[in-house]
Amino acid sequence: MHRVGYILLYICLGVVGVFQIFPIIWLVSFSLKTNQEIFAGNPFALPTDPKWENYLKVFEGGIGTYFWNSIWITVVATILTILIASMATFAITRMKWKLSSFVLGIIMIGLMIPIHSALIPLYNMFLNVNLIDNPVSIVVTYMTYNLPITVMILLGFYTTLPREIEEAAIIDGSSIHRLFFKIILPLSAPIMSTTVIINMIYNWNEFVFVNTFISSDKFKTLTVGIQNFIGQYMTDWGAIGATLVISVLPIIIAFIFFSDKIMEGLSASAVKG
């Protein structure tokens, strides 16, 4: 009975896996077709003559700039968010001060603020400090909106760390800053992987803020820059498919490399020591 159960389980997982992978395979196939193949032939059929030049077309159209903007904005915002969230979580969970609970409550309120409700106030604020059409406004906004969820994920892990480690480090003459950077951060590497991938997915796929705060093509990210290619290649659907493949590929690669760490981090934050 146990063997039959395992067989049924693997069959179900295989079916789910096929449904998950099929859209990606279809998108890659779509990006290698001509308009005639897309509209005249079977939409689910593989391309008879793959048109790799579709990818060359979008790079010649300037998608490289959007791609680079997405990379550096995502990386900078993710690093700063995780660093600030780690410091805040360390102060709230490992240090004793009167307003720690109040500060935690203020941070968690950020989870209840809808993005669209803050769009106009943020625009006015950035306009007053001359940060409209400046990537700094995007990095600051990403940090602000990702900070609450990052702190919430780190809380479960930081509360399980044994205090004996900190006490031993302090007895050896370690300062608070050295304790945090040399001991706490390395110990939190498993949960860091989880926060990294969550921040990366949000930052990479975000559209509303970039579309509102950025108007120059030189600062646009990939999600917003694709609009230009939709207008430019309105009849070339293969080129449009190529831009979509390029936009999802980095996140898929990152998830493949971090998937084990994500599960390890979630397990570490859920277990109370």
Q: What share of the chain in percent tops pLDDT 70?
A: 91
Torsion (CA) 212, 216, 219, 222 in degrees, nearest 10: 70
Q: How far apart are CA 22 and CA 129, in angstroms?
A: 46
Identify residue 271 by its one-letter amino acid code.
V
CATH architecture entry for 68-225+249-270: Orthogonal Bundle (1.10)
pLDDT classification of 273: cutoffs 50, 70, 90: very low
State the average pLDDT over residues 76-102.
91
Q: Per residue in 177-234, pLDDT tens?
A: 888 888 888 888 888 888 888 899 899 989 999 999 998 888 999 888 877 666 654 5
Domain range list for the chain: 68-225+249-270
Per residue in 59-77, pLDDT (tens digit) is 877 788 899 999 999 999 9
Per-residue CA distances from 221 to 49, 207, 217 (Å): 31, 8, 9
Q: Which band of pLDDT confidence, cut at 50, 70 and 90, is reported for residue 45? A: confident
Mean pLDDT is lowest, of 53-67, 71-85, 147-161, for: 53-67
Using pLDDT thresholds of 50, 70 and 90, give the confidence band for residue 261: low
CB–CB of 47/32 below 8 Å?
yes
The mean pLDDT value for 95-106 works out to: 88
Looking at the predicted structure, is the pLDDT value of residue 4 above 90?
Answer: no
What is the predicted pLDDT for the residue at 130? 94
Percent of the chain at pLDDT > 90 equals 30
> Mean pLDDT in the chain?
85
pLDDT tops 50 at residue 263 = yes
Q: What is the pLDDT of residues 22-41, one digit of tens each?
A: 988 999 998 888 877 888 76
pLDDT: is 185 or 269 the higher one? Answer: 185
Structure confidence at residue 253 (pLDDT): 83
